Homo-oligomer: A and B are copies of this chain.
Amino acid sequence: MVSPQSSIGVADVSVDDEFWSPWIERNREVTIEYQYEQLEESGTLENFRRARDGESGGFQGMWFQDSDAYKWLEGASYELAKRDDPDLRERVNEVIDLVAAAQREDGYVNTYFQLVEPEKKWTNLHLMHELYCGGHLIEAAVAHYQATRERSLLDIATGFADHVDDVFGDELDGVPGHEEIELALIRLYHVTGKERYLERAEYFVDLRGHNDRLGWEATHLDEIGGHAYADLPEGRGDDLMDVAGNLFLEDSEYDGSYAQAHEPVREQDTVEGHSVRAMYLLAAVADLVAETGDEALWAATELLWENMTTKQMYITGGIGPEHAHEGFTEDYELPNETAYAETCAAIGSIFWNQRLLEYTGEAKYADLIEETLYNGFLAGVGLDGRQFFYVNPLASSGDHHRKGWFTCACCPPNAARLFASLGAYLYSERDGELYINQYVGSTLSTTVGGVNVDLEQESALPWDGEITLEIEADGTVPINLRIPDWADGATVIVDGVPVSDGNRSSDVERSESSSGPVEYGGTGFVRVERDWGGETIEIRLDQTVELLAAHPDVEADAGRVAVARPPLVYCAEAVDNDRPLHQYAVPEGADASAAHRDDLLDGVTVVETEAAVPDYDGWEKRLYRPVEQTGTEFDRLEFVPYYAWDNREAGAMQVWHRLDRP
């Protein structure tokens, strides 16, 4: 077992990137700001005030709305880690004070149950999300502590975690319907060093699929808490019943797969159910494996990752095709127009893969993070920073549009905390070596194996594969450069001297996959060891336009190709093309070109290919005729990055185009 990497956190990394910085700034200036206003408008803070004041009733909003406050605290904390902002710090402290005041003496805090059904706490683990909210409280606390070294929020979180640890495994055995507490407890363990949190996380992971508490609840809805929610003036009782309705198989048996509770985690080999829940669970599983080296958990992890990435994932990195249960279905069932592919699920996949990357050091996980960041995740956010997709289809007839984030509950704040912490996904350290996982313009100031390192990265991605690193260090630091699986060729030049491709130079080594049967892309890292004194590393990754096919069992993509210029997946939008999109067929080996257009969509590289289109000759007053009498002519089909779709005139969009196989 290799020793896990540690990601280098947001405090040590300052992102300064032509592509990503505008997103991060919009996130700070628009999203986090607006999110704070919404905490007041939605009644979230008022719920805490009422709980503080010992009131009864008057709960407002969704039953898991406390988590909105916690997610905001987490995102805001990442911003505080990067630079002090007195106004933001004051707001953060006010909210923390409020949560502290609302928390019960025993550590319990959940404004819904405190205000509405205090006697029913911990009776509806499946639907009522007390542990889910608590998990977000803990994540916020860890982020806040790491940013400020203040314990104000951390103390609240440990109080809650201690209470959970007291209650569960003792007076009550059960797992939450929505995972989140598990990964949070492990984060809490990492900052506090308290083993009980790690062990409680392990308890929740190990019990899942073994304990029939969720099934009991689902079949005894009358006996559990949550029903009073439907009677609140602001309540939406139907939502709860809809969820409850999803919990059953056709024969009225409880179906635990919605919450990954159909069988023990160690026995699972296909990703199932609600995809955000699955990702949060698996992130915790990866953390546990890193802590415990549990081989059975790791074996299951590898099977689940293989299942997801080779049978249940969109080409954008999006996951979970189905609307009804927001989750996974059958292998290779990846419909395009009806894809769910929730933005939060893409974010959850990034969380999971970052942990797998840290554990294994294998580039394939960083590859998938990059793919998901630039496509399945980024499409979830509009160019104005004010409009969001919950649902990310890969084809649209023109009626799917982003909505103002204030109408959504989970995706906008989840995106906000990812943007705010993007710096934490770029670099990691293991065994005194530095790993460059993502090529995003940034400055890094940290210590690797006891050696101070200052690194400045410039990157022209995703438009151009030119990356430059300038490094100063107190001593010798091996630097591992990820060569993405998509690179059609890579050159590494150290201080003006070409030292690769691959293993050509003595001081460049390509690390090999070390962790079992999974092959994904087959790329790795190039290792450069130097005593750095301001030298530069230039990396040239060749980008080409690719036509990609999907596995033969994917019905939705049969006879179709997707256009990519990695790391970006492209799509065709009606606004750029004269004919209806269904008329274009891209020939195999089509001549393709790419050109940057500063004026378009905040600046994008567009792609164009030749395409066959039907000839209208002979079709007048005919609806059907022998195919040999029909003809085609040649036209051009223009593509824009998938993430940028639906930012102009409404119209059809498609990622998968008919292939004209010669």
Contact = CB atoms under 8 A, between A and B. Distances in A.
Contacts of A315: 623-624
Given A558-B658, A582-B558, A549 B624 contact: yes
A658 B559 contact: yes
Majority-rule SS of A interface residues: mixed
B624 A550 contact: yes
9 contacts: A310-B623, A547-B627, A548-B624, A549-B624, A550-B623, A551-B624, A558-B583, A559-B658, A585-B661
A596 to B, nearest CB: 24
A583 B550 CA distance: 12
Given A628-B588, A659-B627, A662-B662, A616 B306 contact: no
Contacts of A616: 552
A552 B619 contact: yes
Copies of this chain, tallied across the complex: 2
Contact of A546 (B309, B582, B612, B626): B626
Contacts of A220: none
B519 A588 contact: no
Interface residues of A, number: 49
Interface string A608-641: 0000111010010111111110101000000000
Interface in A532-580: 546-555, 558-559, 561-562, 580
A628 to B, nearest CB: 6
Interface in A18-69: none
Interface in A106-137: none
Most buried by B among A313, A628, A630: A630
A559 B585 contact: yes
A589 interface: yes
Nearest to A311: B623
A550 B520 CA distance: 41
A662 B546 CA distance: 22
Contact of A559 (B311, B519, B551, B559): B559
A212 interface: no
A650 to B, nearest CB: 16
Most buried by B among A580, A626, A632: A626
A628 B660 contact: no
B658 A660 contact: no
Given A546-B626, A552-B614, A626-B549, A621 B660 contact: no
